[in-house]
Amino acid sequence: MSDAAITVDHVTKKYRLYHERNQSLKAAVMRGRRARYDEFLALDDVSFEIREGIAYGLIGENGSGKSTMLKCIAKILRTDGGSITARGKLSALLELGAGFHPELSGRENVYLNGAILGLSRKEIERRFDAIVDFSGIEQFIDAPVKNYSSGMYVRLGFAVAINVDPEILLIDEVLAVGDQEFQNKCTDKIAAMRREGRTIVVVSHALPSVSALCDEVALLEHGHLIRTGPAEDVIDHYLTEILSVDPADIGIPRRATGEIHLDGIEILGADGQPRPEPTIGDPVTMRFHFTARERVVEPVFGMSFRSGDGVLVTGCNSMGSDLRLTVEPGPGHVDLDIPRLLVAPGRYHITATIYDREHRTPIHEVGDLHAFRVAAGSLRTAGITSLGGAWRADA
Amino acid sequence: MSQVREYVERRELLTNLVLRELRSRYKRSTLGWTWSLLNPLSSVLIYWAVFGVFLKVDPPVGDPSGQHNFVLFLLCALIPWNFFSNGVTQSIESLVVNAGLIRKVYFPRELLVASTVGGLLVTFLIELGVVLVILLIAGNMVLPWIPVVIVLVALQSLMVLGIGLLLSAANVYFRDVRHFVTLIMPVLFYSTPVVYPITTVPETWNVAGHAIPLRQIYGYNPLVRLVTAYRDAMYSLRMPSWTTLGYIALWAIGLVLVGQWVFNRLDHRLAEEV
C-alpha cells in the first residue's frame, strides 16, 4: 500500500448511450425525463495498484476500457463507484496541445498550457528555454499557433507536457506523432524519466512498444480486469489466450525463461584483440558473453543487426550449425566468426538471442545489446552492404 | 470551503485563463481594445436618442449631487447592466466553447466560468473608470464613493459568477439554456430601471380588477436594487441604504453557493456530455 503511486480501488464507470441524442428541454419535459439511454459499463469493479517508479501498461482491445481507465486516473472522468488515489504530481499526455489557443503565440500558449497543467508562472519561466529547446521551434515561438504545422503544434504540446516534471506521467498512444527524429526524442525522454524513478502509465495498442517499455501490465477486456502482472506474462497471455496469435509473428518475444543471461558483445579483430570500430571488409569475431544460472543443453544463439535508421541488415542463428555447446553454470562466451565484415560504413545495433535447442522458447533476448561503428576503408560501396568484389580486366 | 481553497490554489491558472480571454478577444482587429469602449458608447447614443430625446424621459435630480443629466443617469446603470448581461450570456457558453480542453485535460472546470467573468470584469472596470472620469468632468465628486462602488462591483461579480456556474453546467446538458437566456435578457433589461427612473413605475398596477403592487415587486429584483445602488453612489452621491446592500449581498452569496453546488453536481459527467 505504502509504495503504490496509484491505487485503483473497485472502480466502476458507466457511460450513457442515448437512443436519441436530444439535448432539448422540450423533449425532456414532454417525456418527463431527459432522454432514453442504456447504461454501458465501461469499467466494472476494477482494482489494481501501480507501484511507484515503474512503467505500467494498460492493454486490451478497442472498447476494453483502457482509455477510460486512464482518463479516470487523470481525473478527466469521474468514477461512478470506487476510488482512485494518486500520490504525486500527475501529467497526462492525452492530446498534445489541448488548450492551445490558435490566435495566441507559441510563447503565450506555453504559459497558458503550463498553467493548465498545474505549473506556476515562476516554474514555467524557469523551464521555458528547455521547453522551446525540446520542441525545436525557437524561430516560430512568437507566431500564432494557428500558423503552425500539425507537427510543430504537437511538438510544442509534448514539450510543455513533458516539462511539467510530473511524478506520474500518463500517456495515451500519443507517441505516434511527429517525424522519426522527434519520436526518438520522445522515447528517449520517456526512458530518461523512467530511469529517474518516475511512474509511467501507458495505454497502447502497440504491444511491441508496451513490452519494451513496461515492467507491469494490466489487461482489460470489456471493462473487466483480466490479469495484472509482469509485462511479458500478461502480454503473452493476451496474445495467446485472447488474440490467439504467436507473439513471435508480431515481433514480440515470448516470455524468456532466463536460465542464461546475455551480458554483452565484444568485437575482436583477426589478431584476437578488441576492435571497437572495425573497418569495412575486415575479418572480425563477435564474442557473446553470457552468464548461465543452470546447465543448458545446446542452446541456440542468434543475432541480428540493424543500421542506425532501423533497417534490418542481416541476422543468423546457430541452429543447424556446428555449434554444439552445453552451457554450464557460470560465465562463458561463444564466438561468431565473420570472414569479411561486408556492411557499409555507419552505425549498427546488435540484437542478441538465446533460445532452447528446438529454437522455440527464448531463454534471453536483448534488443540493442551492443552498438558499434564500421569505419570506411579501401573497400567502397553504396547502399548498406557490399559484395566485397574486386575489379579486374583481362588484358 | 474547499472550493474557495481551490480557487486560491489555482489562481495562477485563473490569471492565465483571464489573460487568454483578454488577449484573444481583440486579436486581429485594427481598433483592438477601442472596441470595448465603442460598444457601450453606441448603446448609450441609441438609448439617449430614443429615451432621452424622442421619449423625453426626465432623469431625477441627484440628491445631494444636483445632477440632472440623462446621459449620466443612463451611464451609471447601463455600464453595470452590460457587465451583468455579457457576463451571464458569455459564461453560459464558457464550458461548451472549451469542450476540447474539458475532454483532454483535468483542471477545476469552474475556472473556465470564473475566467470568462474575470475577463469581462476587467473590461467593466475600464469602462467604469471612463464613466468616473466623465462624472468628475461633469462636476460629480465621485471619488469618496469609490469604495462603495468597489463593494458593488464585487457583489455583482459574485452574482454573475453564481448565475454563470449554475447555467453553464446546465447548458452542457441542455443546449436550450442559452436560447432561453437570450430570450429572457431583454425582459430583464426592460424590467430593470436602466433607461428610465424607477419613479416612472406605478406603485400599483390594476389588471382586470386586481391591484398589483408593482413597485414592491420591483424591489424584490436584486438587479433593480443593484442598479439603484450604483446610481445612488455615482449619480446622486449618497450612500445606498443598508437594506439594499444587505439584500444584494444576500443574493450574491446565495447565487454563488447555489451555483457552485449545482456545478459540482453536474460536473460529474461533464467530460462525457460536453
Does B5 touch chain A if contact means CB atoms closer than 8 Å? Answer: no
Interface of A with B in 14-33 (CB under 8 A): 15-16, 23-26, 28
Q: Which positions in chain A touch B271 (Cβ < 8 Å)?
A: 71, 76-77
Residue range B209-227: mean pLDDT, rounded: 92
- Sign of torsion, CA A94 A100 A105 A111? negative
In 3D space, the residue among A163, A166, A184 whose CA is nearest the CA of residue A175 turns out to be A184
CB contact under 8 A, B101 and A99: yes
Interface of B with A in 6-45 (CB under 8 A): 12-13, 15-17, 19-20, 23-24, 27-28
The per-residue pLDDT for range B45-76, each reduced to its tens digit, is 999 999 999 999 899 998 888 899 999 999 99
Q: Give φ, ψ of B66 to 5 degrees.
A: 75, 10
pLDDT at position A341 is 92
**Nearest CA-CA distance, residue B94 and chain A, Å:** 13
Taking the C-alpha atoms of residue A264 and residue B92, their distance in angstroms, rounded to an integer, is: 63
Share of chain B above pLDDT 90, in %: 65
Interface of A with B in 62-101 (CB under 8 A): 71, 74-78, 92, 94-95, 98-99, 101
Amino acid at A308: G
Q: What is the mean pLDDT of chain B?
A: 91
CB contact under 8 A, B272 and A15: yes
Q: Which of B13, B24, B102 sits opposite A115 (nearest CB)?
A: B13
Q: Does domain A4-19+50-250 have CATH number 3.40.1410.10?
A: no
Q: Which of A15, A78, A92 sits opposite B268 (nearest CB)?
A: A78
Q: Which of A108, A116, A120 sits opposite B107 (nearest CB)?
A: A116
Q: Which positions in chain B touch A26 (Cβ < 8 Å)?
A: 176
- Sign of torsion, CA A18 A24 A27 A31? positive
Q: Which of B17, B27, B176 sits opposite A103 (nearest CB)?
A: B27
Does A111 touch chain B if contact means CB atoms closer than 8 Å? Answer: yes
What letter would DSSP give residue A239?
I
pLDDT confidence bin for A33, thresholds 50/70/90: low
* Position B253 pLDDT exceeds 60: yes
| Cis, peptide link before residue B64, omega less than 30° from 0 | yes
Residue range B209-231: mean pLDDT, rounded: 92
B109 vs A37: which has the higher pLDDT = B109
Contact B51, B29 (CB under 8 A): no
* Position A243 pLDDT exceeds 60: yes
Interface of B with A in 80-139 (CB under 8 A): 100-107
Q: Which of B24, B103, B107 sits opposite A104 (nearest CB)?
A: B24
pLDDT confidence bin for B125, thresholds 50/70/90: very high
A31 vs B211: which has the higher pLDDT = B211
* Position A388 pLDDT exceeds 90: no
Taking the C-alpha atoms of residue B270 and residue B169, their distance in angstroms, rounded to an integer, is: 8
Q: Which positions in chain A touch B177 (Cβ < 8 Å)?
A: 25
The per-residue pLDDT for range B227-239, each reduced to its tens digit, is 999 999 999 999 9
Checking DSSP bridges between strand A199-203 and strand A55-59, what pairing results, if any?
A: parallel
CA-based end-to-end distance of chain B: 27
Size of interface A-B (CB pairs under 8 A): 82
Does A224 touch chain B if contact means CB atoms closer than 8 Å? Answer: no
pLDDT at position A176 is 59
pLDDT at position B84 is 97
* Position A289 pLDDT exceeds 90: yes
CB contact under 8 A, A24 and B176: yes
The per-residue pLDDT for range A119-178, each reduced to its tens digit, is 888 889 999 999 999 888 889 999 999 899 888 888 888 888 888 888 898 888 755 566
Contact B6, B165 (CB under 8 A): no
Question: Which run of H or E residues covers position A8?
Answer: strand A4-18
Could you give the residue range(s) of every CATH 3.40.50.300 domain in chain A? 4-19+50-250
pLDDT at position A286 is 93
Q: Which residues fall within 8 angstroms of residue B98, CB to CB, at 6 or more apart?
A: B112
Please give the residue of chain A at the shortest CA–CA distance from B171.
A23
Contact A78, A11 (CB under 8 A): no
The per-residue pLDDT for range B74-124, each reduced to its tens digit, is 999 999 999 999 999 999 999 998 888 888 888 889 999 999 999 999 999
**Nearest CA-CA distance, residue B67 and chain A, Å:** 45
Q: Which residues fall within 8 angstroms of residue A172, CB to CB, at 6 or more apart?
A: A67, A70, A92, A93, A94, A202, A203
pLDDT at position A127 is 92
Please give the residue of chain A at the shortest CA–CA distance from B101.
A99
* Position A255 pLDDT exceeds 70: no
pLDDT at position A23 is 56
Q: Which of A76, A103, A115 sits opposite B106 (nearest CB)?
A: A76
Q: Which positions in chain B touch A144 (Cβ < 8 Å)?
A: 27
Q: Dihedral angle at the C-alpha atoms of A339, A343, A345, A350, nearest 10 degrees?
A: -90
Q: Which residues fall within 8 angstroms of residue B241, CB to CB, at 6 or more apart?
A: none
Residue range A271-284: mean pLDDT, rounded: 91
A65 exposure class (CB count in 10 Å sphere: 0-12, 13-18, 19+): buried
pLDDT confidence bin for B44, thresholds 50/70/90: very high
Q: Does domain A260-374 have CATH number 3.30.750.24?
A: no
pLDDT at position A347 is 87
Q: Which positions in chain B touch A25 (Cβ < 8 Å)?
A: 174, 176-177, 180
Amino acid at A211: S
Q: Which of A77-81, B19-23, B74-78 has the highest mean pLDDT?
A: B74-78
Q: Which positions in chain B touch A94 (Cβ < 8 Å)?
A: 104-105
* Position A21 pLDDT exceeds 60: no
Q: Give φ, ψ of B43 to 5 degrees.
A: -70, -35
CB contact under 8 A, B106 and A75: yes
Q: Give φ, ψ of A248 to 5 degrees.
A: -60, -30
Residue range A28-55: mean pLDDT, rounded: 80
pLDDT confidence bin for A1, thresholds 50/70/90: very low
* Strands, E assignment, A247-379: 260-268, 284-292, 296-297, 300-307, 312-317, 326-327, 330-338, 346-355, 362-374
pLDDT at position B70 is 94
* Position A351 pLDDT exceeds 80: yes
pLDDT at position B242 is 95
In 3D space, the residue among A53, A8, A20, A36 whose CA is nearest the CA of residue A220 turns out to be A8
Does B160 touch chain A if contact means CB atoms closer than 8 Å? Answer: no
Could you give the residue range(s) of every CATH 2.70.50.60 domain in chain A? 260-374
Question: B218 by DSSP, 3-state: which?
Answer: helix
**Nearest CA-CA distance, residue B160 and chain A, Å:** 23
pLDDT at position A175 is 59
Where in chain B are the domains?
36-273
CB contact under 8 A, B271 and A28: no
Residue range A251-274: mean pLDDT, rounded: 82
Q: Which residues fall within 8 angstroms of residue A95, CB to CB, at 6 or more apart?
A: A157, A174, B100, B104
* Position A258 pLDDT exceeds 90: no
The per-residue pLDDT for range B146-174, each reduced to its tens digit, is 999 999 999 999 999 999 999 999 999 88
Residue from A76, A105, A121 to probe the interface with B (highest B Cβ count within 10 Å): A76
% helix / strand / coil in chain B, to the nearest 5?
75, 0, 20
The per-residue pLDDT for range A296-321, each reduced to its tens digit, is 999 999 998 888 777 788 888 898 88
Q: Which positions in chain B touch A112 (Cβ < 8 Å)?
A: 16-17, 19-20
Share of chain A above pLDDT 70, in %: 91
Contact B56, B70 (CB under 8 A): no
Interface predicted TM-score (ipTM)? 0.78
pLDDT at position A356 is 87
Q: Dihedral angle at the C-alpha atoms of A190, A194, A195, A198, nearest 10 degrees?
A: 130
Taking the C-alpha atoms of residue B15 and residue A225, their distance in angstroms, rounded to an integer, is: 42
The per-residue pLDDT for range B177-191, each reduced to its tens digit, is 999 999 999 999 999
pLDDT at position B107 is 85
